[in-house]
């Protein structure tokens, strides 16, 4: 039996406060715009900017570099938050994330051994 470590998010919001981009897929843009009750063009104009690598859009951030949609410790778009947010920290993370993020490591049985 193979075991995988999976980090369970504790909603500490460390990733939401980390300076950097929150990249949006086309599906993210459509879902968030619908959730906010606005058309995609209006959402893009009001809540996004071009990423520094110019490969797509990022959510806007506040002066302290936290995400625009973070209010206290709550994400205002939690049900439709971007893929990048959902995949942290198991699929990507930033340097020094273990010192900031409170996600709890858990062992998962994986019947498929790594190939």
- Residues found near ligand SF4 in the complex (CB under 6 A): 16, 22, 59, 67, 69-70, 75, 77, 81-82, 85
- How near is the Cβ of 113 to ligand SF4 at its closest, in Å? 33
Chain centroid to Cα 38, Å, comes to 21
Q: Token digits for 97?
A: 């994330």
69: Cβ contacts below 8 Å, ≥ 6 apart: 16, 59, 75, 76, 77, 81
User: How many angstroms separate the Cα of 74 from the Cα of each of 10, 17, 20, 96, 115?
Assistant: 12, 12, 19, 23, 39
* Closer by beta carbon to ligand SF4, 55 or else 76: 76
For residues 52 and 18, the answer to whether their CB atoms sit within 8 Å is no
* Closer by beta carbon to ligand SF4, 79 or else 111: 79
- Residue 14 CA to residue 33 CA, distance in Å, equals 24
* Closer by beta carbon to ligand SF4, 2 or else 65: 65
- How near is the Cβ of 104 to ligand SF4 at its closest, in Å? 18
* Closer by beta carbon to ligand SF4, 77 or else 101: 77
- How near is the Cβ of 101 to ligand SF4 at its closest, in Å? 12
- How near is the Cβ of 28 to ligand SF4 at its closest, in Å? 9
């Amino acid at each position: 039996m193979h075991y995988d470590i999976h980090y369970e998010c504790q909603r500490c919001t460390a990733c939401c406060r980390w300076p950097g981009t929150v990249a949006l897929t086309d599906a993210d843009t459509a879902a968030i715009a619908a959730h906010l009750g606005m058309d995609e063009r209006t959402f893009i104009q009001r809540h996004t900017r071009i990423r520094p690598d110019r490969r797509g859009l990022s959510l806007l951030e506040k002066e302290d570099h936290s995400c625009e949609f973070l209010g206290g410790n709550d994400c205002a778009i939690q049900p439709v938050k971007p893929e990048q947010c959902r995949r942290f920290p198991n699929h990507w993370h930033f340097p020094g994330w273990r010192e900031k993020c409170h996600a709890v490591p858990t062992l998962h049985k994986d019947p498929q051994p790594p190939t």
